[in-house]
Amino acid sequence: MIYGIWIGGIVVITLVINLLRLMTTPSLNRWLLVGASSLVVIWHGMLFNFYDFHWSVLLLIVTGLVCFQVKGMLTAILVSWLLVYSQSGTLSFPLLLSYVFFGLGAALLFGYVQQLKRERSERLRMLTASSRQLNVFREVSFTMQDTLDLDRLLQTILTSVTAGHGLGFNRSIIFFADPEKDSIYGVMGTGPMNPEEGYQIWEEITRQHYDLQDLIDEKETDATHDEQLNERIRKMTIPFNGEHAFKRTLDSGRPLHVYASITDDPVLRLLHIELQMDECTIFPLHHQGIPYGLLVIDNVVNKKPITPQKIDGVRPIAEQASLALHQTTLYQRIETLALRDGLTRLKNHRSFEQDLDVLFRECEGEELSLIVMDIDHFKHYNDTNGHLAGNELLTRLASVIRRSVPDEQMAYRFGGEEFVVLLPRFDEVEASHVAEKIRTDVLQTRFTHGQTQPGGQLTLSFGVASKHTLLHQTGEQLIECADQALYAAKSRGKNQVCRWEGVPL
């Protein structure tokens, strides 16, 4: 019967205490637990006439240790000893000593359990961080392998190390290195200029539930993202060969962890003044000894320290980024060789055909004109001055054409001494004005050995045709009509512009 009352009382006390714990703070919870343990001990003593009361108070000692550590344990030992004295009337120092030894043993056991919990929590934290880094690295690797577009590649690199679903840094910036031009210059960055802006960005990311790919796509489609940061860093140009942190990082090939606010380094001072950057880490982006640039990261918002573990987490991304930049650069060089004339650097015949096909397909309802131009008496120039002088002439002439047309990307070397210009949304009259401008600019330009040409100067003949005058709306007929107009200019004495007037071929 007594045992039933004791157990029932414990159950009631437990239910009441747990109900109260749900409505209180952690600090008050500890006091409630100590108070509950005291009630249980006193309840036990009252039911059993305090028989073995000096052992039941061990529960109070353990509770004091769990709730308030060593200080709580020592206080509980003293209180327990006094409680036993209040019932027995005898101060037993051996009993006090036994309580102390029991408390010490419990403290050692409790400390060991806590250490195991801390180690387990640390392993779990490290595993979670490693898993996060691996997931980010996997997503970034797939995205990098899926594109050869430089802007998208840079955005992927930057997003992968910043907050949200990246590695957690507040801000990241990429600088390109060009040893030939003795220049290191800012290219792209992502992140806030100040803490207030950073908190707004994080709230938006949380609200929209963005993942890494969503963030990359969003930044590509919205030009206002990081606009202020990018405007600031694109104005930064630093000498490649100088005594500064960027050059030291590229030379060493290792990340450099620095405090920009407490150094006389000119580059770090610039970062501190322009971007309010304090603690930061600079990663070299290089592959096979070729320096492509630098990745700079910092925590401008939450001011979290950049630990060696954090730096190690970014290294694989930086190495992958270096390889991707190497591949993209090679691809762009190959693409340039394939689509640009090696001598004049204008777009070549193949590029012209591709652009003409796109314009006919995508601008069906709009006007399109073509200028075809040819150097007069070019064979005479080559025979008189040699082919090397002829190549120099073509290069100089390409520069004049590039400056004279509305869009230099629409100027092409068609082959030999022949050049063409595409003019979207220009009719034959407007195109003739452009051709006349090129002709006049050529006459006003001094070419080497130009005086050896018939007439004492270098001249060009021009043929112009527009899409709306064609019998058949095809790129081939546009070229043929412009060629016919060029032939007319040649037959009428050269050094002039002739238009195709829509006469059937």
Judge whether 425 and 367 are in contact, CB under 8 Å: yes
Q: How far is CA 271 from the centre of its chain?
A: 18
Burial class (CB in 10 A: 0-12, 13-18, 19+), 61: buried
Average of per-residue pLDDT across 256-284:
91
Contact status, residue 161 vs residue 167, Cβ threshold 8 Å: yes
At position 438, the amino acid (one-letter code) is I
The total number of residues shown for the chain amounts to 505
What Å distances lie between residue 78 and 13, 75, 95, 446, CA to CA? Answer: 24, 5, 11, 106
Residues 410-423: tens digit of each pLDDT: 999 998 999 999 99
Structural domains in the chain? Answer: 2-117 (no CATH), 147-336 (3.30.450.40), 349-499 (3.30.70.270)
CB neighbours (10 Å) of residue 149?
14
d(CA 79, CA 8): 26
Average of per-residue pLDDT across 228-244: 91
Predicted local confidence at residue 44, as pLDDT? 65
Q: pLDDT value at position 505?
A: 43
Q: Which two tokens stand for residue 135?
A: 């997931």
Query: What is the token pair recorded at 340?
Result: 């640009």
Taking CA atoms, 308 is separated from 140, 165, 312, 475, in Å, by 22, 20, 6, 61
pLDDT at 443 over 90: yes
Closest CA to 69 of 104, 95, 98: 104
How many angstroms separate the CA atoms of 88 and 85, rounded? 5
What is the C-alpha separation between 276 and 194, in angstroms, rounded? Answer: 8
Residue 289, CB half-sphere, CA atoms under 13 Å: how many? 0
The pLDDT tens digits of the residues spanning 127-168 come to 766 666 666 666 666 666 666 677 887 888 888 788 555 577
Residue type, 214: D
Least Cα distance to 68 among 22, 99, 37 occurs for 37
Tell me the CA distances in angstroms from 201 to 225, 273, 304, 366, one per residue in order. Answer: 10, 23, 17, 42
Q: How much is the CA Rg of the chain, to the nearest whole Å?
A: 40
pTM of the model: 0.56
Please name the residue that has the structure tokens 């100067």.
Answer: 457
Residue 71 CB neighbours (<10 A): 10
DSSP strand pairing (279-287 vs 290-298) = antiparallel
Q: Where are the alpha helices (DSSP H) in 254-412?
A: 266-275, 308-339, 349-362, 378-385, 387-404
In the chain, what is the greatest distance between 2 CA atoms, to the nearest angstrom?
Answer: 135
pLDDT per residue as tens digits for the range 46-57: 666 655 666 777
| Tens digit of each residue's pLDDT (9 = 90 or more) over 65-103 | 788 888 888 888 888 778 777 777 777 788 888 888 888
Q: What is the pLDDT of residues 4-21, one digit of tens each?
A: 554 555 556 555 555 555
Residue 431 has pLDDT above 90, yes or no: yes
Nearest to 280 by CA among 136, 173, 133, 425: 173
- Counting Cβ atoms within 10 Å, is residue 134 exposed (0-12), middle (13-18) or buried (19+)? exposed
pLDDT in tens, 314-350: 888 888 888 888 887 777 777 777 888 889 989 999 9
